[in-house]
Amino acid sequence: MTSAASHFALVQLAHASRLINHGPTVLVTSAHGGRRNVMAAAWSMPVEFTPPRIAIVIDKKTFTRELVAASGAFAICLPGTALAGLTYAVGSTSGRDEDKLARHGIATRPGPVLGMPVIEQGCAAWLECRLIPERHTEDAYDTCFAEVVAAAADARIFVNGRWDYRDDNAALQPIHHLGAGNFVRAGGVVRGAA
């Protein structure tokens, strides 16, 4: 028996992670010593339930990583579709020479536990995180691990511990970076039957 023609083509290994990186793009905020920053990150994920812990990739050479290492804390904010342009803008420049929050007119408030700047306007949720020191990985890897110490979500889109995507809250639905400034949001909910 012969198989049907395949529509599959090999993917360059440099792009292989894009095949499974479907988590929401997040805005990482940080602050230390009177300086603050915001950057976009496409690679973040939960790694533990109790206490809640996450992993996120923050390049070792970035200003954000410098602030996170110095303060031991950061926040993750989930921008909605209305902030796609802003997310791309803050992810395309460094905050080492300018305050990107001020430049882009991004309002923040201090998180309730660690005082990290959190963004609520246009975001679906935020998580305030305490860095978990990983001495054997700090110099070698870009991945950071952290414990979530506070979290909040917009009740128009997150209800009873679950996402509630509807047409009337599309502007708050988290975005996913596909590369080169292209984002997508979940197009609809499909319910699986048991």
Q: Are strands 143-153 and 26-32 parallel, antiparallel or unpaired?
A: unpaired
Task: State CA 126 to chain mean position distance.
Answer: 9
Mean pLDDT confidence for 54-70: 95
Could you tell me the residue range of the domain that residue 135 belongs to?
24-179
pLDDT of residue 17 exceeding 90: no
Residue 7 placed within a domain: no
Q: Find the helix or strand (DSSP H, E) in which 90 lies.
A: helix 84-91
- Give the pLDDT band (50/70/90) at residue 36: very high
- d(CA 183, CA 89) in angstroms, rounded, equals 13
Q: Is residue 8 part of a domain?
A: no
For residue 85, what pLDDT is reported? Answer: 96
Asked, for residue 16, whether it belongs to a domain, the answer is no
Answer for the pair 116, 138: CB distance below 8 angstroms, yes or no. Answer: no
Q: What pLDDT is stored for residue 20 in this prediction?
A: 65
What pLDDT is attached to residue 141? 86
Q: Which CATH number belongs to the domain containing residue 30 in this structure?
A: 2.30.110.10
Query: What tokens appear for 135 in the block?
Result: 């001495």
Torsion of CA 157, 22, 84, 99, to 10 degrees: 100
Residue 191 pLDDT: 73
In a domain, 42, yes or no: yes
Residues in Cβ contact with 88 at an 8 Å cutoff, skipping those fewer than 6 apart? 40, 181, 183
Specify the 3-state DSSP secondary structure of 190: coil
Number of structural domains (the chain) is 1
Is 194 among the domain residues?
no
pLDDT at 118: 96
d(CA 191, CA 163): 13
Q: Is residue 90 part of a domain?
A: yes
Reported as a pLDDT band with limits 50, 70 and 90, residue 28 is: very high
Residue 105, number of CB atoms within 10 A of its CB? 8
Within a domain: 17:
no
User: Tens digit of pLDDT for each residue in 68-126?
Assistant: 999 999 999 999 999 999 999 999 999 999 999 999 999 999 999 999 999 999 999 99
Residue 166 sits at φ, ψ, to 5 deg, of -140, 165
Q: Is residue 132 included in any domain, yes or no? A: yes
Q: How far apart are CA 70 and CA 110, in angstroms?
A: 17
Does residue 12 or residue 25 have the better pLDDT? 25
At 19, is the pLDDT very low, low, confident or very high (cuts 50, 70, 90)? low
Nearest to 144 by CA among 157, 135, 156, 131: 131
Residue pLDDT, tens place only, 134-192: 776 666 789 999 999 999 999 999 988 888 899 999 999 999 998 889 999 876 666 78
pTM for the whole structure: 0.88
| Tokens 């200003």, residue located | 63
